[in-house]
Amino acid sequence: MKVKVISRSTDEFTRERSQDLQRVFRNFDPKLRPQEKAVEYVRALNAAKLEKIFARPFIGAMDGHIDAISCMAKNPNFLKGIFSGSMDGDIRLWDIASRKTVCQFPGHQGAVRGLTASTDGSTLISCGTDCTCCLINVLSFPSCHADCACLHIQANAVYVGKNAYWAVDHQWGGDLFATTGARVEIWNHNRSQPVNTFEWGTDTVISVRFNPGEPNLLATSASDRSIALYDLRMSTPARKLIMQTRTNSIAWNPMEPLNFTAANEDCSCYSYDARKLDEAKCVHKDHVSAVMDIDYSPTGREFVTGSYDRTVRIFPYNGGHSREIYHTKRMQRVFCVKFSSDASYIISGSDDTNLRLWKAKASEQMGVLLPREQKKHEYQEAVKNRYKHLPEVKRIVRHRHLPRPIYKAKELRRTVIDAEKKKEERRKAHSTPGSIVTESVRKRRIIREVE
Amino acid sequence: MGLEEETGGSAKDVPPTEQELSAEFDTTLQKYLRGEGADLEALKDKKLKGQLTVREKLYGNSAKAAAKFEKWLMPSEGGYLEAEGIEKTWRIKQDQITREVDILSSRNQYDIVLKDLGPYTLDFTPSGRYMATAGRKGHVAIVDMKSMELIREMQVKETVRDIVFLHNETFFAVAQKKYPYIYNRDGIELHCLKDVTTGEMIGNFRTGLGRTETMQVNPFNGVIAVGHSGGTVSMWKPTSAAPLVKMLCHHGPISALAFHPNGQLMATCGREKKIKIWDLRKFEVVQTIPGHHAKTLDFSQKGLLAAGTGSYAQVLGDFSGSQNYSRYMGHSIAKGYQIGKVSFRPYEDVLVMGHSMGWSSILIPGSGEPNFDTWVANPFETSKQRREKEIHTLLDKLPPETIMLDPSKIGTVRPYKKREKPTKEEMEAEKEAAVEAVKDIALKKKTKGRNKTSKRVMKRKVLIDKAKKPFIEKEMQEAGKLAGKRKLGEETELPASLKRFVRKKAAV
Q: How confident is the model at residue B430 (pLDDT cuts 50, 70, 90)?
A: confident
Sequence-ordered list of residues with C-beta below 8 angstroms from that of A117, at least 6 positions apart, any chain = A73, A74, A75, A76, A83, A123, A124, A125, A138, A170
Q: Give the model's pLDDT for residue A147.
A: 38
Chain A residues in contact with B300 by the CB 8 A cut-off are none
Residue B13 has pLDDT above 80, yes or no: no
End-to-end CA distance of chain A: 91
C-alpha span between B99 and A192 (Å, rounded): 103
CA distances from A366 to A300, A355, B96 (A): 21, 20, 65
Query: What is the distance in angstroms between the Cα of B138 and the nearest Cα belonging to chain A?
Result: 34
- Decide if B213 touches A, using CB distance below 8 A: no
Q: Which of residues 379-408 of B touch A (CB under 8 A)?
A: 379-380, 382, 385, 395-399, 402-403, 407-408
Residue B429 has pLDDT above 90, yes or no: no
Mutate to test the interface with B, among A1, A4, A16 (most CBs of B within 10 A): A4
**Which residues pair with residue A418 across a beta bridge?**
none
CB contact under 8 A, A41 and B402: yes
Q: Give the model's pLDDT for residue B433.
A: 82
- Decide if A53 touches B, using CB distance below 8 A: no
- Decide if B219 touches A, using CB distance below 8 A: yes
- Residues B243, B232: contact at Cβ < 8 Å? no
Q: Give the model's pLDDT for residue B488.
A: 66
Closest CB from A6, A31, A38 relative to B261: A31
Task: Encode pLDDT of B96-154 as tens digits.
Answer: 999 999 998 999 999 999 999 989 999 999 999 999 999 999 999 999 999 999 999 99
Query: What is the distance in angstroms between the Cα of B266 and the nearest Cα belonging to chain A?
Result: 16
Q: Give the model's pLDDT for residue B300.
A: 95
Chain A residues in contact with B81 by the CB 8 A cut-off are 1-3
Residue A200 has pLDDT above 90, yes or no: no
Q: How confident is the model at residue B364 (pLDDT cuts 50, 70, 90)?
A: very high
CA distances from B374 to A42, A417, A425, B72 (A): 21, 56, 61, 18
Closest CB from B31, B374, B407 relative to A35: B407
Average of pLDDT values for A189-217?
Answer: 91
Q: Give the model's pLDDT for residue B211.
A: 78
CA dihedral A366, A368, A373, A374 (to 10 degrees): 80
Q: How confident is the model at residue B411 (pLDDT cuts 50, 70, 90)?
A: confident
CB contact under 8 A, A2 and B82: yes
Residue B256 has pLDDT above 50, yes or no: yes
Q: Give the model's pLDDT for residue A146.
A: 40
Chain A residues in contact with B78 by the CB 8 A cut-off are 6
Q: Give the model's pLDDT for residue B432.
A: 82
Average of pLDDT values for B6-33?
Answer: 74
C-alpha span between B13 and B110 (Å, rounded): 34
- For A220-225, which contacts have Cβ atoms below 8 Å and span 24 or more sequence positions? A220/A180, A220/A184, A220/A250, A221/A246, A221/A247, A221/A248, A221/A249, A221/A250, A221/A262, A222/A246, A225/A447
Task: Encode pLDDT of B303-321 as tens digits.
Answer: 999 999 999 999 999 988 7
Q: Give the model's pLDDT for residue B329.
A: 93
Q: Give the model's pLDDT for residue B1.
A: 40
CA distances from A141 to A81, A101, A153, B85 (A): 11, 12, 10, 92
C-alpha span between B384 and B390 (Å, rounded): 10
Average of pLDDT values for B215-225?
Answer: 88
Sequence-ordered list of residues with C-beta below 8 angstroms from that of A175, at least 6 positions apart, any chain = A118, A188, A189
Residue of B nearest to A383 (CA): B411
Q: How confident is the model at residue B4 (pLDDT cuts 50, 70, 90)?
A: very low
**Which residues pair with residue A208 across a beta bridge?**
A220
Residue of B nearest to A4 (CA): B79
- Decide if A385 touches B, using CB distance below 8 A: no
Q: Give the model's pLDDT for residue B389.
A: 95
CB contact under 8 A, B372 and A390: no
- Residues A219, A229: contact at Cβ < 8 Å? yes
Residue B38 has pLDDT above 70, yes or no: yes
Residue B366 has pLDDT above 50, yes or no: yes
CB contact under 8 A, B80 and A2: yes
Task: Encode pLDDT of B262-289 as tens digits.
Answer: 889 999 999 889 999 999 999 999 999 9
CB pairs under 8 A between A and B: 136
Query: What is the distance in angstroms between the Cα of B446 and the nearest Cα belonging to chain A?
Result: 43
Sequence-ordered list of residues with C-beta below 8 angstroms from that of B100, at least 6 positions apart, any chain = A1, A3, B1, B2
Residue of A nearest to B75 (CA): A25
Q: Give the model's pLDDT for residue B7.
A: 43
CB contact under 8 A, B66 and A33: no
Q: How confident is the model at residue A299 (pLDDT cuts 50, 70, 90)?
A: very high
B195 versus A408: the higher-pLDDT residue is A408
Chain A residues in contact with B79 by the CB 8 A cut-off are 3-6
C-alpha span between B454 and B423 (Å, rounded): 37
Lowest mean pLDDT among A296-300, A341-345, B30-34: B30-34
- Residues B361, B121: contact at Cβ < 8 Å? no
C-alpha span between B83 and B327 (Å, rounded): 13
Sequence-ordered list of residues with C-beta below 8 angstroms from that of A118, at least 6 positions apart, any chain = A124, A125, A170, A175, A177, A189
Q: Output DSSP code: residue B468.
A: H
Q: What angle, 0 to 180 degrees and rounded to 10, lies between the N-to-C axes of helices A36-53 and A391-398?
A: 20
CB contact under 8 A, B370 and A33: no
End-to-end CA distance of chain B: 107
Task: Encode pLDDT of A306-351 as tens digits.
Answer: 999 999 999 999 999 999 999 999 999 999 999 999 999 999 999 9
Q: Give the model's pLDDT for residue A351.
A: 94
Average of pLDDT values for B311-332?
Answer: 91
CB contact under 8 A, B347 and A6: yes
CB contact under 8 A, A5 and B76: no
Average of pLDDT values for B19-31?
Answer: 87
Q: Output DSSP code: residue B436.
A: H
Task: Encode pLDDT of B63-112 as tens digits.
Answer: 999 999 999 998 888 899 999 989 899 999 999 999 999 998 999 999 99
Backbone φ, ψ for residue A251 (5° rounding): -140, 135
Share of chain A above pLDDT 90, in %: 80
CA distances from A40 to B86, B98, B402, B406, B407 (A): 51, 44, 11, 15, 11
C-alpha span between A337 and A69 (Å, rounded): 10
- Decide if A32 touches B, using CB distance below 8 A: yes
Q: Give the model's pLDDT for residue B489.
A: 60
Q: How would you classify residue A303: left for phi > 0, otherwise alpha for psi between -120 and 50, otherwise beta? A: beta
Query: What is the distance in angstroms between the Cα of A6 and the nearest Cα belonging to chain B?
Result: 6
C-alpha span between B86 and B82 (Å, rounded): 11
Which ranges in B307-373 belong to alpha helices (H)?
A: none
C-alpha span between A369 and B199 (Å, rounded): 41
Q: Give the model's pLDDT for residue A333.
A: 96
Query: What is the distance in angstroms between the Cα of A17 and the nearest Cα belonging to chain B?
Result: 14
Average of pLDDT values for A268-285?
Answer: 95
CB contact under 8 A, B408 and A37: yes
Global pTM value: 0.85
Q: Give the model's pLDDT for residue A143.
A: 52
Task: Encode pLDDT of A67-90 as tens digits.
Answer: 999 999 999 888 999 999 999 999
Q: Give the model's pLDDT for residue B462.
A: 93
Q: What is the maximal distance between C-alpha atoms in chain A?
A: 105
Sequence-ordered list of residues with C-beta below 8 angstroms from that of B158, at least 6 positions apart, any chain = B138, B176, B177
Q: How confident is the model at residue A149 (pLDDT cuts 50, 70, 90)?
A: very low
C-alpha span between A137 and A140 (Å, rounded): 9
- Decide if A30 touches B, using CB distance below 8 A: yes
- Decide if A436 touches B, using CB distance below 8 A: no
Average of pLDDT values for B337-345?
Answer: 94
Q: How confident is the model at residue B2 (pLDDT cuts 50, 70, 90)?
A: very low
CB contact under 8 A, B3 and A37: no
Average of pLDDT values for B157-182?
Answer: 93
Average of pLDDT values for A177-200?
Answer: 91
Query: What is the distance in angstroms between the Cα of A287 and the nearest Cα belonging to chain B?
Result: 25
Residue A17 has pLDDT above 50, yes or no: yes
